[in-house]
């Protein structure tokens, strides 16, 4: 599974958004 830095950033934003 190839994960780019952009995907990681987007995932982090989503997690923070949904957690909040």
pLDDT score at 20: 73
Identify which has the larger pLDDT, 20 or 10.
10
Q: b/e per residue, 3-20, with b = 16+ CB within 10 A?
A: eeeeeeeeeeeeeeeeee
pLDDT score at 1: 62
What number of other Cβ atoms are within 10 A of residue 2's Cβ? 4
What number of other Cβ atoms are within 10 A of residue 1's Cβ? 2
* pTM summary value: 0.32
Our CA angle for 4, 6, 10, nearest 5°, is 120
């Amino acid at each position: 599974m190839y994960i780019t830095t952009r995907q990681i950033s987007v995932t982090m934003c989503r997690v923070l958004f949904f957690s909040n």
